[in-house]
Structure 1
Amino acid sequence: MGMDLKHHVFVCTSCRQNGTQKGKCFANGANDVVMKFQEVIDDEDIRDDVMVTNCGCFGLCDNGVVVAVYPDGVFYKHVTVDDVEEIVTSHFEEGNVVERLVL
């Protein structure tokens, strides 16, 4: 896999340093959001352009599920499975940040 990614997506899954998954992002369905991102990215055949990584706590818990997009430096808040397709289409494919979800 080349590292000429257009976007690297980090989804908080509330994993703490001690390894436990507990927190608002996890409780709000972060694992489902990760799986949905992977599914939509596969469906759109943009695996070479976009990588999804689950990550630990950003410390922005009241906004969970929190999703960070690099290199853009965009943070999305309260992301649900229903928002994933819009983020992929609008942001990753068309270059338009989904303003209603921006943190």
Structure 2
Amino acid sequence: MVQPKYHVFICTSCRINGTQKGYCFQKGSVDIIQSFMQEIEDRDLTGDVVINNTGCFGICDKGPVVVVYPEGVWYGNVSEDDVERIVEEHFEGGVPVDDLMI
């Protein structure tokens, strides 16, 4: 069984019936997931970081929302431009990105 160092949940506004619509989806959260996956692959972190999409966290005004465990760090208003920084500073450096935290 894989024991990742980080487990990342990214809101894609996925509804119970499987459709994606809502604030985080409209703000590009699917593209953010793809950026995380590419960045993690490029940095050879696939064994250390697991990415999952999720439904609404209920704080749409802070979206797109990214939550990182085991620390329970919540990032808000995340854009594709923030992905490299989160991976470098948090996943590789071990220090959450303060100015992106909710």
Same fold at TM > 0.5: yes
Residues 35-54 of structure 1 correspond to what in structure 2 (within 5 A)?
35-54=34-53
Q: Determine the C-alpha separation between the residues in 2 that align with 1:16 and 1:62.
A: 18
Residues 10-29 of structure 1 correspond to what in structure 2 (within 5 A)?
10-29=9-28
Match of 1:73 in 2: 72
Give the RMSD, CA atoms, in angstroms: 0.8
Q: Determine the C-alpha separation between the residues in 1 that align with 2:15 and 2:58.
A: 11
Higher deviation after alignment, 83-92 or 19-28: 19-28
Q: Determine the C-alpha separation between the residues in 2 that align with 1:19 and 1:40.
A: 26
Instruction: Report how many aligned residue pairs link the two structures.
Output: 102
Amino acid at match of 1:10: F
- 1:22 shift after superposition: 1.1
- 1:16 shift after superposition: 1.5
Match of 2:84 in 1: 85
Give CA deviations for 1:66-102 in whole Å, capped at 9, x if unaligned.
Answer: 0000111001000000000000000000011100110
- 1:20 shift after superposition: 2.3
Give CA deviations for 1:22-69 in whole Å, capped at 9, x if unaligned.
Answer: 111000000000000000000000100001011111111111100000
Identity within the alignment, %: 53
Q: Determine the C-alpha separation between the residues in 2 that align with 1:6 and 1:34.
A: 18
Runs of 4+ in 1 over 2 A off after TM superposition: none
The alignment's TM-score, normalised by the length of structure 1, stands at 0.95
Match of 2:29 in 1: 30
Higher deviation after alignment, 12-21 or 34-43: 12-21
